[in-house]
Amino acid sequence: MKKIRTIGVVGAGTMGAAIAQKFAQEGFTVYLNDREQKYIDKGVAGIREVLEQGVKRRIFTQEKVEAIISNIKGTTRQEDLKVCDLIIEAIFEDFEIKSKLFKTLDKFVPADTILATNTSSFSITELAESVSRPERFVGLHYFYHAAKNRLVEIIRGDKTSDETYKAMQVFSVQAGKDAITTKDTYGFAVNRFFVPWLNEACKMLDEGLATITEIDTICMKTFGIGMGPFALMNATGVPIALHAQKTLENFGPSYKVSELLKQQVATGNNWDISGMDKVEITSEKIKIINDRILGCTFFVCSQILAEKACTTVDLNRGAKIGLRWRKGPIDLMQKYGESEVKRIVNEFARLYSEQTPEGIEAKNWEMEYVTLEINGNRAIITMSRPENMNALNVEVMAQLDYKFSQVDARDDINTIILTGSGKAFVAGADIKFFVNNIKSNTIENIVAFTKYGQKVFEKIDASAKKVVVILNGLALGGGMELALCADVILAVPKSKIAFPETSIGIYPGLGGTQRTALRVGKGLAKYLVLTGQMLGAKLALEIGLIDGIIQPSEMFDFISGEKEIPIKTKTELSKKWKAIESLFNKNSYKAIISGDYINGTIDAENIDKLANTMRVKAPIAMDFSEELIENAQDPFSELEKLVAIFTTKDALLGLTSIGKRVKYSGE
Q: Which residues pair with 8 in a beta bridge?
A: 31, 87
Q: How many CA atoms lie within 13 A of 108 on its CB side?
A: 11
Single-letter code of the amino acid located at 153 = E
Backbone angles phi and psi of 15, in degrees to 5: -75, -45
Confidence of residue 560 (pLDDT cuts 50, 70, 90): confident
Catalytic residue among 99, 118, 120, 258: 120
- The separation between CA 295 and the C-alpha centre of its own chain, rounded to angstroms, equals 27
With bands split at pLDDT 50, 70 and 90, how would you rate the model's confidence at 1?
confident
pLDDT of 379: 97
CA atoms within 13 A on the CB side of 582: 12
- The continuous run of DSSP H or E covering 157 comes out as none
Give the pLDDT score at 73.
97
Are 124 and 117 in contact by the 8 Å Cβ rule? The answer is: yes
What gap in Å lies between CA 64 and CA 562, rounded to an integer? 32
- HEC-encoded secondary structure of 406-471: HHHCCCCCCEEEEEECCCEEECCECHHHHHHHHHCCCHHHHHHHHHHHHHHHHHHHHCCCEEEEEE
**Better-scored residue on pLDDT, 1 or 613:** 613
Provide CB contacts within 8 A for 98, sequence distance 6+: 89, 91, 117, 119, 122, 127, 130
| Integer Cα distance of 345 and 298 in angstroms | 6
- What is the pLDDT at residue 78? 96
CATH fold for domain 370-655: 2-enoyl-CoA Hydratase; Chain A, domain 1 (3.90.226)
> What's the one-letter identity of residue 138?
V
Is the CB of residue 222 less than 8 Å from the CB of residue 292?
no
Which of 163, 172, 122 has the alpha carbon at shortest distance from 7? Answer: 172
Output phi, psi for 529, to 5 deg: -75, -40
Rounded Cα–Cα distance for residues 634 and 70 (Å): 52
**SS3 assignment, position 539:** helix
* Residues 465-515 pLDDT 10s: 999 999 999 999 999 999 999 999 999 999 999 999 999 999 999 999 999
Q: How far apart are CA 313 and CA 315, in angstroms?
A: 5
On the 0-12 / 13-18 / 19+ scale of CB atoms within 10 A, 462 is exposed
Residues forming CATH 3.90.226.10 domain(s) in the chain: 370-655
Grade residue 267 by pLDDT with cuts at 50, 70 and 90: very high
Tell whether the model's pLDDT for residue 568 goes beyond 80: no
Cα 361 to its chain centre, rounded Å, is: 27
Q: Which of 8-17 are b and which e, b meaning 16 or more Cβ less than 10 Å from the residue's Cβ?
A: bbbbbebbbb
Partners of 488 in the beta sheet?
468
* Burial zone of 161 (CB within 10 Å; 0-12 exposed, 13-18 middle, 19+ buried): middle
* CATH among 3.40.50.720, 3.30.70.60, 3.10.450.40, 3.30.110.30 for 6-182: 3.40.50.720
At residue 275 the predicted structure's pLDDT band, cuts being 50, 70 and 90, is confident
Residue 49 forms beta bridges with which residues? none
Task: Kindly report the pTM of this predicted structure.
Answer: 0.91
Predicted pLDDT of residue 599: 83
The answer to whether residues 389 and 423 touch, using CB atoms and an 8 Å cutoff, is: yes
pLDDT-derived band at 614, boundaries 50, 70, 90: very high
Catalytic: 153?
yes
Q: Is 91 helix (H, G, I), strand (E, B) or coil?
A: coil
Helix (H) or strand (E) holding 185: none
234 is catalytic: no
According to the model, what pLDDT value does residue 225 have? Answer: 95
- pLDDT tens digit string along 6-36? 999 999 999 999 999 999 999 999 999 999 9
The residue type found at 630 is E
Q: Is residue 600 pLDDT above 80, yes or no?
A: no
3-state secondary structure of 599: coil
| Contact in structure between 485 and 461 (CB atoms under 8 Å) | yes
Are the C-beta atoms of residues 657 and 664 closer than 8 Å to each other?
no
Q: What is residue 51's predicted lDDT score, i.e. its pLDDT?
A: 96
**Where in the chain are all domains bearing CATH 1.10.1040.50?**
190-365
Residue 379, SS3? strand
**What pLDDT shows up at residue 338?**
96
Nearest-angstrom CA–CA distance, 12 and 74: 9
Quick one: three-class SS letters along 605-658?
A: HHHHHHHHHHHCCCHHHHHHHHHHHHHCCCHHHHHHHHHHHHCCHHHHHHHCCC
Residue 432: how many other CB atoms lie within 10 Å: 12
Residue pLDDT, tens place only, 55-84 = 999 999 999 999 999 999 999 999 999 999
Please tell me the distance from the alpha carbon of residue 260 to that of residue 206, in angstroms, as a whole number: 6
CATH fold label, 190-365: N-(1-d-carboxylethyl)-l-norvaline Dehydrogenase; domain 2 (1.10.1040)
> From CA 243, how far away is CA 228, in angstroms rounded?
19
What's the sign of the alpha-carbon dihedral 580, 582, 587, 592?
negative
Predicted local confidence at residue 552, as pLDDT: 87
Q: What is the mean pLDDT of the chain?
A: 95
CB 161 within 8 A of CB 332: no
φ, ψ for residue 75, nearest 5 deg:
-155, 140
Per annotation, catalytic residue among 130, 149, 172, 191: 191
**How do beta strands 370-375 and 378-383 pair?**
antiparallel
Three-state DSSP class for 386? helix
Query: Band of the pLDDT at 136, cuts 50, 70, 90?
Result: very high
pLDDT digit string (tens) for 172-196?
A: 999 999 999 999 999 999 999 999 9
Reported as a pLDDT band with limits 50, 70 and 90, residue 299 is very high
Q: Is 149 strand, coil or helix?
A: coil
Q: Measured between alpha carbons, how far is 108 from 120 in angstroms, rounded to an integer?
A: 26
pLDDT of 556:
87
Question: CA 369, CA 2: separation in Å to the nearest integer?
Answer: 27
**Four-point Cα dihedral 541, 542, 545, 551, nearest 10:** -10
Comparing CA positions, the residue from 322, 88, 305 lying closest to residue 183 is: 305
Which of 354, 337, 407, 406 is closest to 378 using CA atoms?
A: 407
Residues of the chain with CATH 3.40.50.720: 6-182
Strands 6-10 and 86-89: parallel
Count CB neighbours of 522 within 10 A: 18
Selection from 387, 92, 115, 343 nearest residue 396 by Cα: 387
Strand partners, 366: none
Ramachandran class of 129: left when φ > 0, alpha when ψ lies in -120 to 50, beta otherwise = alpha
Average pLDDT over residues 640-654: 97
- Choose the catalytic residue: 89, 153, 214, 626: 153
- Strand arrangement of the beta sheet that strand 178-182 belongs to: 72-75, 29-33, 6-10, 86-89, 114-117, 137-142, 151-156, 178-182
